[in-house]
Amino acid sequence: MKILIIEDEQEIALSIKNYFKTNGVQCETANNCTSALNKIDNYSYDCILLDLMLPDGDGFDILRELKNQNKTEGVIIISAKETLDTRIEGFNLGADDFLTKPFHLSELLVRMQALIRRKNFQGNNTVVFNEISIDIFSKTVTINNERLDLNKKEIDLLLFLIGNNNKVLSKGAIAEHLSGDMADMLDNHDF
């Protein structure tokens, strides 16, 4: 799982990033609209966590741009700005969920996992593809009911490939999914 955290309060962004990393989620951050839009233009994410109040604009501008680009990333708004009008505008612009600050990181993680499950795997906790079965929460893989010993990167790659069934994926897209921003620093993708 690869997410983008768009949050100008560095302490909150770091807290989310550290908590999610310990739960096996790859996180990238942006602290303003400009850097967020640059990352959205250049990379794909499973989910975007979006603060509405940013120093150089507002999160609704990012939602509009996601809509204009026909991006399919799931979006969870995380904001202290909590009014009915704000929520309605966010949902009308394409947000999938809204969480008011302050929130528990465990709740944010569960909401994000549920969103990704709905978008990529029709809401199932277990992904089944032919004879392959992957339990998303326990990170276990079985083939014909025989358990495989795979590491986290291998499971992430397998889920990425199954989630993109019948699509041609470039080496660069696979490297980006597994390494995030670090993919740009690789000399080649022959791994």
pLDDT per residue as tens digits for the range 73-122: 899 999 988 788 999 999 999 899 999 998 899 889 888 888 887 776 66
Q: Residue 120: what pLDDT? A: 67
Percent of the chain residues topping a pLDDT of 90: 39
pLDDT at 183 over 60: no
pLDDT per position as a tens digit, 38-50: 999 988 888 999 9
Give residue 12's identity as a one-letter amino acid code: I
- Any long-range contacts for 131-139 (C-beta under 8 Å, 24+ apart)? 132/158, 132/162, 134/158, 134/159, 134/162, 137/113, 139/24
- Cis-peptide into 102, omega within 30 deg: yes
Q: Which of 67 and 122 is assigned the larger pLDDT?
A: 67
Confidence of residue 51 (pLDDT cuts 50, 70, 90): very high
